[in-house]
Amino acid sequence: MKLRTALKLTTIAASFALGAGTVSAEGVDIDALVAEILAGQNTDLALHQAYAEAVSAPGTPFQGTLPDKTIHIGWTSPGFDLSDAWERYYLAFSARMEETGIPFEINLQAASSHDAHDQQLAHIEAFISQGVDYIVMGPTELEAQIPSYNAIHEAGIPLIITNYVRRLPGDDKTLMYTAFDHEVGGVMTGEWIFDRLEGKGKIGLMRVLPGDMDDQRFGGAWSVLENGDFEIVAEEFTFADRQLSFQIAENMMTAHPDIDLLFGLCSACALGGVPALEAMGLTGTVDIIGFGGIPEETALMQNGTFSGSVFRQIDDLGVAIAEAVKRHMEGRAEEIPAVFTGAYVMMDDTWEAEQFDAVNEYAVRYSGHN
């Protein structure tokens, strides 16, 4: 069965996921799903589209008189790794801020893991004590960090939350939530798996950590896969740890040698599983798919050791955060959407080299091709 490999490059302003009016092979209207999500998050579709156009365009200088002081930004995320997107958000944000001409400094504090909730709260408390002007936060887990958000809002510091677009109920204080919607990416991944395995198969599920992000990614995929004859024969949480992912993949394949596909719910999950399959002589026999499409994944797809991944136009999130800071400082807060969600492309090992090159050229235009 030939997989869908429709290529969208810099079409973020024109579409959210696959293209206007796109209906998947399994009957899911991706654009309608994204529009429904935005409406449910009190985000005007026209405002979101205008914001997406600004994100995809080159940066513009600050409008008005530049501040006579350095703007201090507290930045915290659960880890800081190119393979898990956090470093790319940071690099893209920094480069885009440079284009604005705003004098700024970033205090970067990365939690040691996705479940280091208390450690991240301590980082937030330090930012507040330091009197930073903005806080950009990739929560260890959305609900686990409610005490952090409350403290930030009480201090009157503008907050941007990354990696989530489903806002907490009643949250009208956060400046912006921004992410690639996890459910949408999950749906697209589920469609790919459905096609690849021709409607049936056994899956080893390598989850990230308990919480909304993980549930939405898998839930989106399962909403498609439940229409076929698929079985999750093993599942474990990897906490986005490559070494742990290696061990989990190896254990899954030993206990269930009939697994057809390993499904990693993040890039690090899946990348940890690749050497496990290689060590067991299963490369090319068992499919392995990730969630993110970072350059390391795309390189492995091209050499035949990685099957596919839903691909995030990754720098767009860092750019979107910089644009929010700029507009807020310019007194244009009403031009910042409550949530901003980036666009996905589904890529796999059937692509030609020029397709990968074209997509990557835009996606990592600020953070680089490492």
Model pLDDT, residue 26: 53
Contact yes or no for 165/341 (Cβ under 8 A): yes
pTM above 0.85, yes or no: no
Q: Two tokens at 365? A: 């235009």
1-370 adopts what CATH topology? Answer: Rossmann fold (3.40.50)
Model pLDDT, residue 175: 98
Largest Cα–Cα separation, the chain? 64
Model pLDDT, residue 81: 63
Model pLDDT, residue 80: 72
Break the chain into its structural domains and give their ranges. 1-370
Model pLDDT, residue 12: 31
Q: Two tokens at 157? A: 């510091």
Q: Annotate the chain with three-state secondary structure.
A: CCCCCCCCCCCCCCCCCCCCCCECCCCCEHHHHHHHHHHHCCCCHHHHHHHHHHHHCCCCCCCCCCCCCCEEEEEEECCCCHHHCHHHHHHHHHHHHHHHCCCEEEEEEECCCCCCHHHHHHHHHHHHHHCCCEEEECCCCCHHHHHHHHHHHHHCCCEEEECCCCCCCCCCCCCEEEECCHHHHHHHHHHHHHHHCCCEEEEEEEECCCCHHHHHHHHHHHHHHCCCEEEEEEEEECCCCHHHHHHHHHHHHHHCCCCCEEEECCHHHHHHHHHHHHHCCCECCEEEEEEECCHHHHHHHHCCCCCEEEEECCHHHHHHHHHHHHHHHCCCHHHCCCEEECCEEEEECCCCHHHHHHHHHHHCCCCCCC
Model pLDDT, residue 368: 86
**Distances from the Cα of 226 to the Cαs of 69, 191, 214, 267, 270, in angstroms?**
55, 11, 17, 24, 22
The segments of the chain whose pLDDT lies below 50 read 1-25
Task: Show Cβ contacts of residue 156 under 8 Å, excluding neighbours closer than 6 positions.
Answer: none
The Cα 1–Cα 314 span in angstroms is: 29
Model pLDDT, residue 224: 96
Contact yes or no for 333/159 (Cβ under 8 A): no
